[in-house]
Amino acid sequence: MELLDGKVVKKKILEELKEEVLKLKRKPGLVVIQVGDDPASKVYVGQKEKMANSVGYNFQHIKFDENIEEDIIEKKIIELNNDDNVDGILVQMPLPKQLNSKKIQNLIDQYKDVDGLSDINSGMLTHNVDTLVPCTPKGIMDILEYYNISVSGKNVVIVGRSDLVGKPLASLMLNANATVTICHSKTVNLGEFTKNADILVAAVGKASLITKDMVKENSVVIDVGINRVNDKLCGDVDFDGVIDKVSYITPVPGGVGQMTVAELGKNVLKAYKNREKQKILEKQ
- Cβ 51 to ligand NAP shortest distance, Å: 13
Angle between helices 39-55 and 256-283 (to 10 degrees): 60
Contact between 122 and 163 under an 8 Å Cβ cutoff? The reply is yes
Q: Does 205 bind ligand NAP (CB under 6 A)?
A: yes
Q: Is 119 a catalytic residue?
A: no
Q: Which of 115, 142, 198, 223 is catalytic?
A: 115
Nearest to 93 by CA among 170, 159, 165, 169: 165
Q: Which is nearer to ligand NAP, 86 or 165 (CB)?
A: 165
**CB closer to ligand NAP out of 4 and 86:** 4
Residue span binding ligand NAP (CB under 6 A) among the ranges 54-62, 118-126, 203-211, 265-273: 203-211
Given the residues 34, 92, 105, 258, the one annotated as active site:
92
Using only the alpha carbons of the chain, give its radius of gyration: 19
Whether the CB-CB separation of 236 and 195 falls below 8 Å is answered with no
Q: Cβ(158)–Cβ(173) under 8 Å?
A: yes
List the one residue out of 226, 215, 225 whose CA is nearest residue 248.
215
Query: Least CB distance from residue 175 to ligand NAP, whole Å?
Result: 19
Among 206, 212, 245, 273, which residue sits at the site for ligand NAP (rule: CB under 6 A)?
A: 206
Closer by beta carbon to ligand NAP, 237 or else 246: 237
Active site residue 154: no
Residues 138-197 that bind ligand NAP (CB under 6 A): 159-162, 164-166, 183-187, 190
Question: Of 10, 34, 48, 138, which one is the catalytic site residue?
Answer: 48
Total Cβ atoms within 10 A of residue 198: 19
Strands of 2-3's sheet, edge to edge? 2-3, 248-249, 220-223, 199-202, 155-159, 179-183
DSSP class of residue 59 equals E
Nearest to ligand NAP of 7, 206 (CB atom): 206
Residues in the interface with ligand NAP (CB under 6 A) total 26
Phi, psi of 121 (to 5 degrees): -70, -35
Task: Reply yes or no on whether 92 is catalytic.
Answer: yes
The contact set with ligand NAP (CB under 6 A) reads 136, 159-162, 164-166, 183-187, 190, 203-206, 209, 224-227, 256-257, 260
The residues that are catalytic are 48, 92, 115
